[in-house]
A and B are shown apart, each in its own frame.
Chain A
Amino acid sequence: MNRRAFRKIKNGMFLSLSLVATLTGLACLAAILWTLISHGVAGMSWHLFTQMTPPPGSQGGLLNALYGSAVMTLLGILIGSPIGVLAGTYLSEYGRNSGLSSAIRFINDVLLSAPSIIIGLFVYELVVVRMGHFSALAGAFSLAVLAIPVTLRTTEDMLNLVPLGMKDSSAALGAYPWRTTLSVLYPAARSGIVTGLLLAVARISGETAPLLFTALNNQFWSTDLNAPMANLPVVIFQFALSPYKDWQDLAWAGALIITLTILLLSIAARVLLAVLQTERGAGR
């Protein structure tokens, strides 16, 4: 009886500790969101989307930074995702058990968790130093390097989930592996792969460190890929650290915009995954 009571107490203690830990985490998150929203909403206005980043003391917006972020994120995904998707396809479909694949998988996992500032320095050495100047292209390239491991991993995982029988059936009809991959496996894993792409976009659109070393920043409107380009993360970094009230407000507004964008992307990714699961269910 005593022993049972003791076990009950232990159970209760463990449960409450878990609960406290969960609440602490959630509270931090809520505090961050609340701070962001309360400060960010104040700075929200149409000017954000119509005017350039201003010099201190005058009114302005974030148009050039929003544009730069969109362009570099898009370019980064365009460069990085084909590499990630194709490499993931190789790991899942062609070299599932080879030694090379294990090595690639390991390196990819390392890359996946590598601090992004290292990637920034790497691209700085590789591109910026050689070109002699910062550029949007170098920024896009560093974001691409960040996008590769995310897309590679999700593509491989999603292709591995496709039932083996489907692959065999296609081969049994006389399809070569490339045809099976294009016509059967990719459609079967489509929502999963797209989810991976969305997660990669979410990951790279908020990165500051790699851009600091590559695209730097630009006070003015610029569409030249060969020149430094404004972007939200670096603008936020710079404006938030400044002593000027109007710059700080813009930084808060920018931070809110970036957070909401990533939130929307994550929700979209989750919805897609849910769709994937119902598709699977229907497939049974």
Chain B
Amino acid sequence: MIPSTKPPKHLKIRGPIPKAASDVVDTGPPKIEIRGLNFFYDAMQSLHNVNMTLADRSITAFIGPSGCGKSTLLRVLNRMYALYPKQRAEGEVRIGGVDILSPSVDVAELRYRVGMVFQKPTPFPMSVFDNVAFGLRLAGGVRGAELKVRVESALRDAAIWDEVKDKLSADGRSLSGGQQQRLCIARAVAVQPEVLLLDEPTAALDPISTLRVEETMQSLREKYCIVVVTHNLQQAARVSNVTGFMYLGELVEIGPSNQIFTSPKNRRTDDYITGRFG
């Protein structure tokens, strides 16, 4: 392949031009610091020496072909992988200064600080209100009027309050797919985590719902350190401040989304975003 950062024009873009949204934004101090992270599924290594620093109050998107390790990376950040046998992570992952891979860290406590939303909407078999209150009740200490306030503000944060305020007692599963996903976002932000992980949050949604979820993400950026994994390059370009490209378990390149999508430094990044593989 031609070792050039500027491929011929006709090869450049697969779909509509990913328009980078992110002007320089005022992000916060470093929130997540990853040093020398390796990850193993049994004997197979799926993350190789990943290093990066992610800022608070920013949206970082990870892109890359299926199986590149971007979801694995996400599942390290709240130690979700620990639910499954034979998976282990090595290295240092600091969130808010605490090394979360240390055995002394309580996973329930960690997951309280690091919320996660999955690809398929997963409303619990209970009312809309109880769905959002689930995490708050787990932690305890929040009840009565305060619980109501917290649930409402979470639903507002997730931009779904107006649609569900009259059916808080309806089963969460009776909402539409897009509403369910925003309900899940509300559920995750209700406990006011420090970090919000989104694993292909719009992959199962129609374009309109996708738009709403993206708007939700934008409005949440002001409060949280958001990490999103997506297969949708346009989405990464639209919503994120920082984009990381992963390939075969390596973090190939990470930088301001503007730069990644217009003038990537690495040829593999360029090949991927221009649709020459992946």
Chain A contact residues, CB within 8 Å of chain B: 97, 163, 165-166, 168-176, 179, 183-184, 187-188, 190, 279, 282-284
Residues of B within 8 A of A168 (CB): 80, 83, 116, 118, 122
Contact between chains at B138 and A173 (CB < 8 Å):
yes
Pair A176/B125 contact, Cβ less than 8 Å: no
Closest 10 CB pairs of A and B: A172-B116, A283-B173, A174-B112, A174-B111, A174-B108, A165-B122, A173-B135, A187-B125, A169-B122, A188-B125
B87-120, CB < 8 A from A = 107-112, 115-116, 118-120
Choose from A172, A282, A284 the contact partner of B80 (Cβ within 8 Å).
A172
Contact A283 B111 (CB under 8 A): no
Contact status B138-A179, CB under 8 Å: yes
A143 to chain B, nearest CB (A): 31
Nearest A residue to B173 via CB reads A283
The 8 Å CB contact of A165, one of B115, B118, B187, is: B118
A171 to B107, CA, bound (A): 9
- B contact residues around A190 at 8 Å (CB): 125
- A173 near B134: Cβ-Cβ < 8 Å: yes
List residues of chain A with CB within 8 A of the CB of B126.
183, 187
Q: Which residue in chain B gives the minimum CB-CB distance to A96?
A: B85
B124's contact among A97, A169, A279, by CB below 8 Å, is which? A169
Contact across chains for A171 and B125 when beta carbons are under 8 A apart: no
Complex-state Cα separation, A179 to B116, whole angstroms: 18
Q: Which of A169, A170, A183, A282 contacts B171 (CB 8 A)?
A: A282
Other than the given A165-B119, A171-B80, 10 more pairs (CB < 8 A) read: A163-B122, A166-B122, A166-B124, A169-B116, A169-B122, A172-B80, A172-B118, A174-B139, A279-B125, A282-B174
Tell me if B213 is interfacial: C-beta within 8 Å of chain A. Answer: no
Residue in B85, B138, B173, B174 whose CB lies within 8 Å of A174: B138
Chain B residue, CB-CB nearest to A279: B173
Known A172-B80, A173-B115; contact A184-B138, beta-carbon cutoff 8 A: no
Residues of B contacting A163 with CB < 8 Å? 120, 122
Q: Across the two chains, which residue of chain B brings its CB closest to A184?
A: B124
Interface centre among B80, B122, B138 (most CB of A within 10 A): B122
Nearest-neighbor residue (CB-CB) of A171 within chain B: B83
Residues of B within 8 A of A187 (CB): 124-126
Which of B85, B115, B123, B174 is in CB contact (< 8 Å) with A172? B115
B contacts with A, residue count (CB < 8 A): 32
The one of B112, B123, B173, B177 in contact with A173, judged by C-beta atoms closer than 8 angstroms, is B112
Measured in the bound complex, the distance between the Cα atoms of B172 and A187 in whole Å is 13
Which residue on B lies nearest to A97, using beta carbons? Answer: B85
A174 with B116, Cβ < 8 A, contacts A187-B125, A187-B126, A279-B173 known: no
Q: Given the complex, which residues of A lie within 8 Å of B80, measured CB to CB? A: 168, 171-172
Report if B191 contacts A (CB, 8 A). Answer: yes
Nearest A residue to B180, CB-CB: A283
A166 CB contacts on chain B under 8 angstroms: 122, 124
Q: Which residues of B contact A165 (CB under 8 A)?
A: 118-120, 122
- Per-position binary interface string of chain B over residues 161-201, scored 1 when its CB falls under 8 Å from any chain A CB and 0 otherwise: 00000000001011001000000100110010000000000
The minimal Cβ–Cβ distance linking A34 to chain B, given in whole angstroms, is 43
How many whole Å from A152's CB to the nearest CB in chain B? 22
Is there contact, CB below 8 Å, between A175 and B138? yes
- A172-B78 CB under 8 A given contacts A165-B122, A184-B125, A188-B124: yes
Q: Given the known inter-chain contacts A169-B184, A183-B134, A188-B125, please indicate yes or no for A174 contacting B109, CB distance below 8 A.
A: yes
Q: Measured between alpha carbons, how far is A283 from B134 in the docked complex, in Å?
A: 18
State whether A283 touches B123 (Cβ < 8 A): yes
A residues near B171, Cβ cutoff 8 Å: 282
Cα A170 to Cα B108 in complex, Å, equals 10
The interface residues of chain B lying within 8 Å CB-to-CB of A283 are 123, 125, 173
19 intermolecular pairs with C-beta atoms under 8 Å apart: A165-B122, A169-B124, A171-B83, A172-B78, A172-B80, A172-B111, A172-B188, A173-B115, A173-B187, A173-B191, A174-B107, A174-B138, A174-B191, A175-B134, A183-B126, A190-B125, A282-B174, A283-B123, A283-B125
Shortest Cβ distance from A242 into chain B, in angstroms?
53
**Cβ–Cβ contact A176 & B108, under 8 A:** yes
Q: What mask results when residues 113 to 152 of chain B are scored 1 for a CB within 8 Å of chain A, else 0?
A: 0011011101111100000001100110000000000000
